[in-house]
A = this chain, B = another copy of it.
Amino acid sequence: MVSIKEVARHAGVAISTVSKVINGYPGVSIETKNKVQQAIKELNYIPNSIAAALSSKQYGRVALILNPKRQTQAADQICMQYLLGALDMAKELKLDVVTIFASMIAGMTTEEVAIYLRSLSISGVVIYSLSKEDKILQRLIQQRQFACVVVDAPIVNERTTSVSINHEQAQYDVAKKTIMDDNCKRVLYIAGRKDGYVTEQRLNGMKRLVEDLQLSMLVRQGNFSELAARNIALKYARNKDVVVCASDLMAIGAMNALIDMDIFRPVCGFDGITLMGYVGKQMNTIRQDFYGISSRAIQEINSLLNGTEGQEVIMPYDIVKMYYKDIIC
């Protein structure tokens, strides 16, 4: 492994000079600079990021904490988009990124998680789909020991930025569109998990809509589970005019239930996963740009790492109907 020392010797200059050239610092004459760059090329020198991190004491690594539901692998698409967005942006920003799945820190206390992250030299964390009940990560955020970006949870403090779409409005919009199309009055709303922040926000959107449009609404927790949504639909859909679901997967479950019951009700979902294109029924849904959201999350963590204060970031969304022919390629 060729080190900075060898480069220095080869170029006939001091180590610190090479360092300055590498890091683009001023105070090096143009010719010395050329000599050094020449030597770097010739020796095929690769700066050792480990040593650099140690020396400069900037271990600015960021951890991505993802929580893929192992059961519902159909939704893995969301995780992948998050990852792609994050990694692309991280490369651009030259941030070192570590991917951590929730399962890997399950059962640890906040302290243990902190120690684990520190042992990985991590100073910033992006948390995707945090649960309200996840006191461990909540405390981690409160402690302000790490810079945090929380996707889809409205937590902000000096060291914490939140990034998400406006779930309240999005749920309002997609449900309104679906309901207006068929002039529905009685809605069955299949909500997410009680412990989810987005669940609450989306429910609020529905409440506002019900108020605005003078509808009646029955709310049941579907826990983002396709099966639960199916069962809820089987039980309650018959007396309702429309089924609004807080996720695509639940919308699919509900729709399949309706088909089994041999009745028709408009159904709408939330997320915009490709799977929606495969189930043979077009439903309105909210399409989120998970890639863009995650990409933005990394930018935000970078800002935090550079000392910016936490803030709230609202991303855009679309209302769409997903067709098989749009999906297939």
Residues of A near any B CB (own CB < 8 A): 44, 46-51, 53-54, 59, 68, 70-74, 76-77, 79-81, 83-84, 87-88, 91, 96-101, 103-104, 111, 115, 118-121, 225-227, 230, 252-253, 256, 273-275, 278-280, 324, 327-329
A50-B121, A77-B76 known; A84 vs B68 contact (CB < 8 Å)? yes
The complex places the Cα of A279 from the Cα of B72 at a distance, in Å, of 16
Q: Is the CB of B87 within 8 A of A46?
A: no
Partner of A87, one of B73, B101, B253, B329: B101
A74-B278, A225-B329 known; A115 vs B81 contact (CB < 8 Å)? no
The smallest C-beta distance from A267 to any residue of chain B, in angstroms, reads: 15
A54-B54, A101-B87, A256-B324 known; A74 vs B119 contact (CB < 8 Å)? no
Q: Is the CB of A49 within 8 A of B119?
A: yes
Q: Is the CB of A72 within 8 A of B329?
A: yes
Partner of A104, one of B59, B87, B120: B87
Partner of A99, one of B87, B226, B279, B324: B87
Residue on B nearest A46 in the bound complex, by CB: B118
A50 CB contacts on chain B under 8 angstroms:
50, 53-54, 59, 121
The complex places the Cα of A48 from the Cα of B55 at a distance, in Å, of 12
A87-B104, A275-B275 known; A73 vs B68 contact (CB < 8 Å)? no
Partner of A46, one of B99, B115, B225: B115
Partner of A49, one of B70, B121, B328: B121
Interface of A is mostly: helix
A77 CB contacts on chain B under 8 angstroms:
73-74, 76-77
Instruction: Return 18 A-B CB contacts under 8 Å, by A number.
Output: A44-B111, A46-B119, A49-B120, A50-B50, A54-B54, A73-B80, A74-B274, A76-B80, A88-B101, A88-B103, A91-B104, A225-B329, A226-B328, A227-B328, A252-B278, A253-B328, A256-B324, A278-B279
A76 CB contacts on chain B under 8 angstroms:
76-77, 79-81
A49 CB contacts on chain B under 8 angstroms:
119-121
A103 CB contacts on chain B under 8 angstroms:
84, 88
The complex places the Cα of A111 from the Cα of B226 at a distance, in Å, of 48
With A70-B84, A83-B83, A87-B101 already in contact, 4 other A-B pairs whose C-beta atoms are closer than 8 Å? A47-B119, A50-B59, A74-B77, A256-B324
The complex places the Cα of A48 from the Cα of B324 at a distance, in Å, of 51
The complex places the Cα of A280 from the Cα of B275 at a distance, in Å, of 13
A53 CB contacts on chain B under 8 angstroms:
50
A324 CB contacts on chain B under 8 angstroms:
256
Q: Is the CB of B329 within 8 A of A227?
A: yes
A115 CB contacts on chain B under 8 angstroms:
44, 46
The complex places the Cα of A280 from the Cα of B77 at a distance, in Å, of 21
